[in-house]
């Protein structure tokens, strides 16, 4: 690993499928809840609700944003409904917690989800105490990544110098703006099953894009190399 990380003093992490692997399939529950919400709201069959859900997600950045734009949905009611799930599939990750405790600098979560959902996930992982704050979709005025606005508001709110910050994400398209703003970018992938977690192929496309600086299939190991880089043999 190069010494790129020596200039970094702020570490920013996406939540879902980044701080925990997508093979835990937690998002499948959220996905099902979103479909149920849309089916009831629009009085459509589950299959049509799923089509609308995915269309809004692709066009608007999140299903929620699409529902707000197209139907004036109350975002708080939507978030409370779709995040009312069983978080038990998320297992504690002591290795990640240990390395986060050693990682020097400020640490944040920047998510298109809610603070409540992030808190539940981080509590399950055992890492909540290592982060200064969670910047969620409410703080972002319901403007989701990959829109430029939430990144800019986040950086301004916490007085973060982007050229001294790194962004970790599981979706390639969500790293384009951070790179443009000057942040180092790290794509977190699941080498065991890159399509797991109910994600479409277009979502995970672009892993080799120029706006991605680093790719890792093991977040804890990647951070460990930053904290204590391996010594080169003589």
- What is the predicted pLDDT for the residue at 228? 84
Superfamily of domain 4-20+91-227: HAD superfamily/HAD-like (3.40.50.1000)
- What is the predicted pLDDT for the residue at 22? 84
Stretches where the chain sits below pLDDT 70 are: 1, 191-205, 229-234
- What is the predicted pLDDT for the residue at 190? 82
- What is the predicted pLDDT for the residue at 196? 47
Q: Using H for helix, E for strand and C for coil, what is the string for the chain? A: CCCHHHHCCEEEECCCCCCCCHHHCHHHHHHHHHHHHHHHHHCCCHHHHHHHHHHHHHHHCCHHHHHHHHHCCCHHHHHHHHCCCCCCCCCCCHHHHHHHHHCCCEEEEECCCCHHHHHHHHHHHCCHHHCCEEECCCCCCCCCCCCHHHHHHHHHHCCCCHHHEEEEECCHHHHHHHHHHCCEEEEECCCCCCCCCCCCHHHHCCCCCCCCCEEECCHHHHHHHHHCCCCCCC
Domain boundaries, the chain: 4-20+91-227, 26-82
Give domain 26-82's CATH architecture.
Orthogonal Bundle (1.10)
């Amino acid at each position: 690993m190069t010494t790129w990380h020596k200039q970094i003093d702020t570490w920013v992490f996406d939540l879902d499928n980044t701080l925990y692997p997508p093979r835990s399939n937690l998002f499948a529950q959220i996905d099902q809840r979103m479909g149920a919400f849309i089916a009831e709201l629009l009085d459509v069959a589950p299959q049509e609700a799923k089509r609308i859900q995915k269309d809004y997600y692709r066009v608007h950045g999140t299903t929620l944003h699409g529902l707000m734009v197209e139907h004036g949905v109350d975002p708080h009611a939507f978030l409370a409904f779709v995040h009312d799930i069983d978080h038990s599939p998320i297992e504690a990750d002591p290795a990640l917690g240990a390395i986060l405790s050693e990682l020097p600098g400020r640490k944040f979560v920047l998510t298109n989800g809610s603070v409540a959902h992030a808190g539940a996930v981080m509590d399950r992982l055992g890492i909540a105490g290592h982060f200064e704050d969670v910047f969620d979709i409410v703080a972002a005025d319901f403007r989701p990544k990959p829109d430029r606005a939430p990144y800019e508001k986040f950086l301004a709110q916490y007085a973060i110098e982007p050229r001294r910050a790194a962004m970790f994400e599981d979706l390639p398209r969500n790293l384009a703006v951070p790179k443009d703003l000057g942040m180092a970018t790290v794509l977190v992938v699941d080498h065991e099953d890159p399509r797991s977690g109910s994600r479409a192929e277009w979502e995970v496309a672009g892993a080799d894009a120029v706006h991605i600086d680093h790719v890792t299939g093991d977040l804890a190991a990647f951070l460990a190399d930053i904290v204590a880089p391996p010594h080169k043999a003589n």
